[in-house]
Copies of this chain bind each other. A is one copy, B any other.
Amino acid sequence: MTSEAIARREQVRTDRVARYERMVEIRALEDRVQELFAEGLVHGTTHTAQGQEAVAVGVAAAARATDSVTCTYRGHGVALALGLTPLDVIGEIMGRTVGSIGGVGGSMHLCEPAVGLLPTFAIVGAGIPVAAGAALTAQVRGTDTAAVAVFGDGSSNIGAFHEGLNLAAIWSLPVVFVCENNQYGEYSRINLTTPITDLADRATSYGMPSQIVDGQDPDAVHAATEKALDHARAGSGPTLLEMKTYRYAGHSRADTAPYRPEGEFEDWYDNRDPINGFRARLEAEGTLTPEQVDAIGHEVAARIEAAVTDAEASPRAGIETMFANIVAPATEGT
């Protein structure tokens, strides 16, 4: 629901506890989505983002609702962070009319322009030049909006990455490139496909500033993204941010990630979990109490369950939806 999404968008922008809650929500939704697939209630495939919640929420905290964001098929987290509701996401995954685009897209295809989310991209790298183009709109119109492209480490090896960053640099477009370096592209560890360790170094090719960011810390993600967005809005051009993070689940539905080195997941989970870390910090600061933590946990769990129930109760996308929204009817001249 658009109006609810706009309200949720604002919460993450303004309130750190809301950010904590949203991270919990993302984790819970992703876990539930995996179950839905495991139970055979959903058809197709899904790519979940447990472990990467801080990137999604930190970026959403920094960007404005009027900024445009492109992200990938691993986009549930970014979508929720930007304000989409659990029902928008789960409804879409379950192919229901209440879904983000009415149930014709599935897990890889979410969209909500009202909060800046352009259609999520199932083609690796494709969202990168598209974000540059959204930034072009701002530049041509002279507004102070900006754009953010969120993409994976593996995507930094594809041509669209190179061309998108180069174009943004030469035109000084107000765009921030957020690389979610979760260490894996599908079943391949980054070192097997990418000859360098720090992808931030790739900014050198474009004379672009860059920064390595702790992607498990939503405050760090927020600060770095905000700084880069300020830089962009000031007309100083794009920035490449490399968020060091980790993908807890396998690549997609059926993948149990047998290729991971022993202990790697445990190390990230035990020592660098973004939710645990942020909770500890907020508690230490006195911003959050253990009681609130519990309450948030319960509320979120209930919210996700309600979303599943509501989605199941709502109609499947009907045959007629296959024929809708293919060609836009109105033309400028008419």
A169 within 8 A of B: yes
- Please tell me if A201 contacts chain B, counting CB pairs below 8 Å: yes
Contacts of A292 in B (CB 8 A): none
Smallest CB gap from A197: residue in B: B207
State whether the Cβ of A151 lies closer than 8 Å to any Cβ in chain B.
no
Question: Nearest-CB distance from A236 to chain B (Å)?
Answer: 13
Does A195 reach chain B (CB closer than 8 Å)?
yes
Pick the contact of A170 from B166, B193, B204 — CB < 8 Å?
A: B193
26 chain-A/chain-B pairs, Cβ below 8 angstroms: A157-B163, A157-B166, A158-B159, A158-B162, A158-B163, A159-B159, A159-B160, A159-B162, A159-B163, A161-B162, A162-B162, A166-B194, A169-B195, A170-B192, A170-B193, A170-B194, A170-B195, A195-B207, A195-B208, A196-B204, A196-B206, A196-B207, A201-B205, A202-B204, A204-B205, A205-B205
Query: In the complex, which residues of chain B have a beta carbon less than 8 angstroms from the beta carbon of A202?
Result: 204-205
Please give, as numbers and ranges, the residues of chain B lying within 8 Å of A193 by CB-CB distance.
170
CA distance A202 to B204 in the complex (A): 7
**A191 (CB) vs chain B CBs: closest residue:** B170
User: What 0/1 readout, one digit per residue, does chain A (157-196) give for beta carbons within 8 Å of chain B?
Assistant: 1111111001001100000000000000000000011111
